């Protein structure tokens, strides 16, 4: 992946000085790479009027990163009150925010409607009755179940908890319309880390077919379709990157055909998280222990609190050792949690690692820091931004014990039950 290589080529010559200044561990994100990816995405889809990326905030919920997204013209995809708050603090509101929640609470609805509102994407037909006030513009998340249209690439998300079924879809829009909605969108999210671009083309085809069908049945018009996130990135060196150019060209052709037939076309929205930032971050950590038992373990000063994906999903993250090449030995790279899945790599060929060596774990720019947790009382690390002008900026400090213990300061509150 050329952009990633470019990041590595710019980062490695200065990494020792960054480590000296900030100390390990830290995630560092590449502003130039994020901008290049964002501009390439906008360019690829420039043939579709009104194309817009809504950055999935959960991938990298850092205000400094969100400023970059905003400057690229992106909106934000949110699924929680905290993400809505961050998006509004970033200066984006109203139709610049898509709120795609699941198992939505009244608190969620209130937050969605506050401060200029947002585009509400309902996850279930029952929510039409539960939303305190039906907004003018409403969207539903579609779960196609066993697919009914097009080709067979899209699987059967029958077990996914998300969305409105095929049989509920017409009624969902009919009810929303009866409740006062007059502008409509249609959303789905079926992929995760998908490297086959045809999957996204088929998703767009399916949504356009649904839009044509619902429009003719109900006499409504759709302002947008949102094909969700899930665009993949090449985590493994042998993975081929997603062919965004072909994907955009084929989706643009679908929109042209729709327009030719219906004399208008909806806008196209996507909500990528991983694709936008994943390759543009690394977790930098120092080897602190080397342990030879039945296997060789390289112990580093970061743990799962900084990156859950390997432990949680068995996900592959490539690892490099600063200044060393080769596959001298096969090791497990571990954190310090009392959990045996606290490993960044299992039986990985690496150059021989000595205490003090700097390792960088690739592709931690999405669902990395954000997913970290505090089990065992391990603080999450700091985040840095490697700016296009070569400056390195602290964009989040590391957690302290005071942060971890903050919820232990509270007002006395005792409920007496039974006989007192
Ligand atoms: C997580 C999520 C995304 C982003 O997924 P990526 O794999 O990071 O692109 C987009 N939309 C919704 C609704 C999500 O839940």
Q: Using alpha carbons only, what angle is made at residue 232 by residues 252 and 240, rounded to the nearest 5 degrees?
A: 95
Residue with tokens 């010559």: 13
Residue in 254, 238, 234 with CA at minimum distance from that of residue 246: 254
By alpha-carbon position, which residue is closest to atom 5 of ligand 1? Answer: 229
Residue with tokens 């579609």: 142
Task: Among 41, 228, 281, say which to mutate for ligand 1: greatest number of ligand atoms within 8 Å of CB.
Answer: 228
Tokens of 20: 């000296």
Cis peptide preceding 418, ω within 30 of 0:
no
CA–CA distance, 76 with 63 (Å, rounded to integer): 12
Contact (Cβ atoms closer than 8 angstroms) between residue 300 and residue 344: yes
Q: Could you tell me the distance, in angstroms and rounded to a whole number, from the CA of residue 302 to the centre of ligand 1?
A: 26
Provide the 10 A C-beta neighbour count for residue 72: 17
Q: Could you tell me the distance, in angstroms and rounded to a whole number, from the CA of residue 364 to the centre of ligand 1?
A: 16
Q: Could you tell me the distance, in angstroms and rounded to a whole number, from the CA of residue 250 to the centre of ligand 1?
A: 22
Residue in 163, 143, 52 with CA at minimum distance from that of residue 100: 163
Pocket residues: Cβ below 6 A from ligand 1: 56, 58-59, 77, 79, 100, 189, 192, 228-231, 271-275, 366
Give residue 3's pLDDT. Answer: 57
Q: Give me the sign of the Cα torsion angle 121, 123, 126, 131.
A: negative
Residue in 63, 64, 40, 103 with CA at minimum distance from that of residue 53: 40
By alpha-carbon position, which residue is closest to atom 13 of ligand 1? Answer: 100
335-361 per-residue burial string, b: 16 or more CB within 10 A, e: under 16: bbbeeeebbbbeebebbebeeebbbbb
Q: Which of 118, 139, 303, 338 is catalytic?
A: 338
Q: What is the mean pLDDT of each run of 10 residues along the chain (420 residues)?
A: 76 97 98 97 98 98 98 98 98 97 94 96 96 96 74 60 93 98 96 93 96 97 97 96 98 98 97 98 98 98 97 95 97 96 98 98 98 95 95 98 97 89
Tokens of 359: 């390792």
Task: Among 38, 77, 226, say which to mutate for ligand 1: greatest number of ligand atoms within 8 Å of CB.
Answer: 77
61 phi and psi, to 5 degrees?
A: -80, 65
Q: Could you tell me the distance, in angstroms and rounded to a whole number, from the CA of residue 354 to the centre of ligand 1?
A: 38
Domains of the chain, first to last = 31-277 (3.20.20.10), 280-407 (2.40.37.10)
Q: Could you tell me the distance, in angstroms and rounded to a whole number, from the CA of residue 72 to the centre of ligand 1?
A: 19
Residue in 195, 272, 204, 270 with CA at minimum distance from that of residue 232: 195
By alpha-carbon position, which residue is closest to atom 7 of ligand 1? Answer: 230
By alpha-carbon position, which residue is closest to atom 3 of ligand 1? Answer: 229
CA–CA distance, 119 with 106 (Å, rounded to integer): 16
Closest ligand 1 atom to Cα of 100: 13
Give residue 379's pLDDT. Answer: 96
Contact (Cβ atoms closer than 8 angstroms) between residue 3 and residue 33: yes
Give residue 218's pLDDT. Answer: 97
CA–CA distance, 160 with 155 (Å, rounded to integer): 11
Provide the 10 A C-beta neighbour count for residue 145: 15
Q: Could you tell me the distance, in angstroms and rounded to a whole number, from the CA of residue 56 to the centre of ligand 1?
A: 6
CA–CA distance, 399 with 378 (Å, rounded to integer): 9
Give residue 420's pLDDT. Answer: 62
**118 is an active site residue:** no
Residue in 251, 314, 322 with CA at minimum distance from that of residue 282: 322
Give residue 159's pLDDT. Answer: 76
> Helix 244-262 crosses helix 31-44 at what angle (to 10 degrees)?
30
Give residue 154's pLDDT. Answer: 52
Mapped to the 3 state alphabet, what secondary structure does the chain carry? CHHHHHHHHHHHHHHHHHHHHHCCCEEEEEHHHHHHHHHHHHHHCCCCCCCEEEEEHHHCCCHHHHHHHHHCCCEEEECCHHHHHHHHHCCCCEEEEEEECCCCCHHHHHHHHCCCCEEEEECCCCHHHHCCCCCCEEEEEECCCCCCCCCCCCCCHHHCCCCECHHHHHHHHHHHHHCCCCEEEEECCCCCCECCHHHHHHHHHHHHHHHHHHHHHHCCCEEEEECCCCECCCCCCCCCCCCHHHHHHHHHHHHHHHHHHHCCCCEEEECCCHHHHHHHEEEEEEEEEEEECCCEEEEECCCCCCCCHHHHHCCCCCEEECCECCCCEEEEEECCCCCCCCEEEEEEEECCCCCCCEEEECCCCCCCHHHCCCHHHCCCCEEEEECCCCCEEEEECCCCHHHHHHHHCCCCCCCCCCCC
Tokens of 118: 């947002």
Closest ligand 1 atom to Cα of 193: 7
């Amino acid at each position: 992946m050329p952009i990633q290589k470019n990041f590595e080529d710019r980062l490695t010559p200065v990494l020792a000085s960054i480590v000296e200044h900030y100390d390990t561990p830290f995630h560092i994100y590449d502003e130039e790479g994020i901008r290049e990816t964002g501009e390439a995405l906008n360019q690829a889809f420039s043939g579709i009027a009104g194309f817009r990326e809504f950055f999935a905030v959960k991938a990298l919920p850092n205000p400094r990163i969100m400023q970059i997204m905003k400057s690229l013209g992106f909106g934000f995809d949110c699924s929680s009150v905290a993400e809505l708050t961050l998006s509004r603090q970033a200066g984006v509101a109203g139709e610049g925010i898509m709120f795609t929640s699941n198992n939505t609470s009244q608190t969620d609805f209130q937050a969605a409607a506050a401060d200029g509102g947002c585009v509400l994407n309902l996850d279930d037909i029952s929510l039409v009755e539960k939303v305190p006030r039906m907004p003018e513009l409403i969207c539903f998340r579609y779960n196609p179940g066993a697919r009914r249209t097009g080709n067979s690439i899209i699987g059967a998300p029958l077990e996914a908890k998300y969305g409105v079924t095929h049989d509920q879809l017409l009624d969902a829009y009919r009810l929303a319309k009866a409740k006062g909605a007059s502008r409509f969108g249609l959303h789905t999210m079926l992929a995760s880390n998908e490297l086959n671009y045809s999957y996204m083309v088929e998703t767009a085809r399916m949504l356009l077919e649904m839009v044509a069908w619902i429009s003719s049945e109900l006499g409504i018009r759709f302002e947008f379709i949102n094909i969700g996130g899930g665009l993949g990135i090449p985590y493994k060196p042998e993975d081929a990157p997603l062919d965004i150019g072909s994907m955009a060209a084929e989706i643009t052709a679908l929109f042209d055909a729709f327009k030719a037939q219906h004399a208008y076309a909806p806008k196209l929205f996507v909500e990528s998280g991983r694709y936008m930032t994943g390759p543009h971050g690394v977790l930098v950590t120092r080897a602190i222990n080397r342990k030879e038992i039945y296997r060789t373990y390289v112990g580093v000063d970061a743990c799962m609190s900084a990156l859950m994906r390997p432990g949680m999903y068995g996900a592959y993250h490539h690892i490099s050792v600063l200044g060393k090449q080769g596959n001298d030995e096969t090791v497990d790279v571990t954190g310090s949690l009392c959990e045996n899945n606290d490993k960044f790599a299992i039986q990985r060929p690496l150059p021989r690692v000595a205490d003090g060596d700097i390792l960088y774990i690739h592709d931690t720019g999405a669902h990395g820091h954000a997913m970290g947790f505090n089990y065992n009382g391990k603080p999450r690390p700091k985040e840095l931004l490697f700016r296009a002008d070569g400056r390195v900026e602290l964009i989040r400090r590391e957690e302290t014990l005071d942060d971890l213990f903050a919820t232990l300061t509270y007002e006395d509150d005792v409920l007496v039950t039974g006989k007192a």
